[in-house]
Amino acid sequence: MTSPDPKSLRSAFGRYMTGVTVVTAQAPGGSLVGFTANSFTSVSLDPPLLLVCPGRHLSSFDVFSEADHFAVNILADGQESVSNTFAADRGDRFGKTKWDADHNGCALISGRVAGFSCKVTQRVDAGDHMVLFGHVTDFDSSDRPGLGYYQGGYFSLGKERQANAPAHDSRLSLGSVILVHDGNVLLTKDNQLPTVQLDDHTGARNALSFYLHSIGLDAHMGPVYSVYDSPNSGTHHVVLRAQVANLPPDCPLKSVPIRSFEEGPARTDIQFLILRRFAQEHRTQSFGLYLGDMEKGEIHKNDKG
């Protein structure tokens, strides 16, 4: 265990996978406020209680510290832009977002997975945040998949399941991993990503975890980073991100600085292009999920929010 350095502690907290919410309230003059949060917890069914934790750094903190009501919106897969608007945009957030008012005048975001209208029952000062307890007076929910958040980036549970599913066709499937350790990427001796062949019984995440364990690496497996096909060879590729805290003395992989892929001469091989994109996104901590083939595809942005 280590002493609680704020940066390291934030990173450790970020290893807990959560959903994403937008919490809203109405100011005394009738204007609306809101913020993005993954600090949302169900507390009790009888009585129906939940809690959120607005930070003191929020421009809307004074409103939440005095409001009698608030609403919680659990965002759906695909609502990253809504999350980013309420996380960073200080303009007219509600003018950029479709919403309806609940019976208390708080905003309920259109397209949400679930929404909760709440009456404030208790406020507890807690360091640089406040714990805000709410009695649920009304709610709704849908069967849409929710938006996920992990290690500073969004992820789609649907895309994760599809990408990690075992192969069931005749294509050769390969799983690779971008292993990060202390500002470096771990590569094989021939400068390739660690890669394993997948069969029809094992998904990419399990197969890669087993391989890394076999070479003495305890890796924290992260989200899927790229899924692409090689038309010429008929090969299906799945690339994940992962973190390694400690390297064994006899580690068969070598460390290459992440920044070298941004600064070095450009190449056209697919793994270099993946690593160059990773280096650029690692600098901003705004990652994406590439879906396509070796020539064209689409990057689904997983902004840090």
**Fold of the domain built from segment(s) 166-302:** Nucleoside Triphosphate Pyrophosphohydrolase (3.90.79)
Of 43-57, 104-118, 217-231, give the lowest mean pLDDT range.
217-231
Q: Which residue has the higher pLDDT, 89 or 220?
A: 220
pLDDT of residue 304: 42
- Alpha-carbon distance 146 to 19, whole Å? 7
DSSP states along 34-100: EEEES-EEEEEETTEEEEE--BTTSTTHHHHTT-SEEEEEEPBTT-HHHHHHHHH--S-TGGGS-EE
Note whether 128 and 56 are within 8 A (CB): yes
**Fold of the domain built from segment(s) 6-150:** Pnp Oxidase; Chain A (2.30.110)
* Neighbour tally for 191: CB within 10 Å: 12
Is the model's pLDDT at 299 over the cut of 90?
no
Is the model's pLDDT at 17 over the cut of 60?
yes
- Alpha-carbon distance 227 to 108, whole Å? 34
Q: What is the pTM of this model?
A: 0.59
Is the model's pLDDT at 78 over the cut of 50?
yes
Q: β-strand 48-52 against 40-45: which pairing, if any?
A: antiparallel
Structure tokens at 145: 């998949």
Burial class (CB in 10 A: 0-12, 13-18, 19+), 43: middle
Cα three-residue angle 222-8-194, rounded to 5 degrees: 30
Q: Is residue 224 very low, low, confident or very high in pLDDT (cuts 50, 70, 90)?
A: confident
Domain boundaries, the chain: 6-150, 166-302
pLDDT of residue 303: 43
Q: What is the mean pLDDT of residues 222-244?
A: 86
Residue with tokens 């309230």: 25
The average confidence (pLDDT) of the chain is 86
Highest mean pLDDT of the ranges 39-53, 186-200, 276-290? 39-53
3 state SS for 228-239: EEECCCCEEEEE
Is the model's pLDDT at 129 over the cut of 80?
yes
Q: Is residue 168 very low, low, confident or very high in pLDDT (cuts 50, 70, 90)?
A: low
Q: What is the separation of C-alpha 187 from the centre of its chain, rounded to a whole number of angstroms?
A: 25
Of 93-97, 265-269, 270-274, 300-304, give the lowest mean pLDDT range.
300-304
Is the model's pLDDT at 176 over the cut of 80?
yes
**Residue range 89-110, pLDDT digits in tens:** 677 889 989 999 999 999 999 9
CB-based contacts of 226, cutoff 8 Å, min separation 6: 237, 238, 239, 274, 289, 290, 291
Structure tokens at 17: 């996978």
Is the model's pLDDT at 51 over the cut of 90?
yes
pLDDT of residue 289: 82
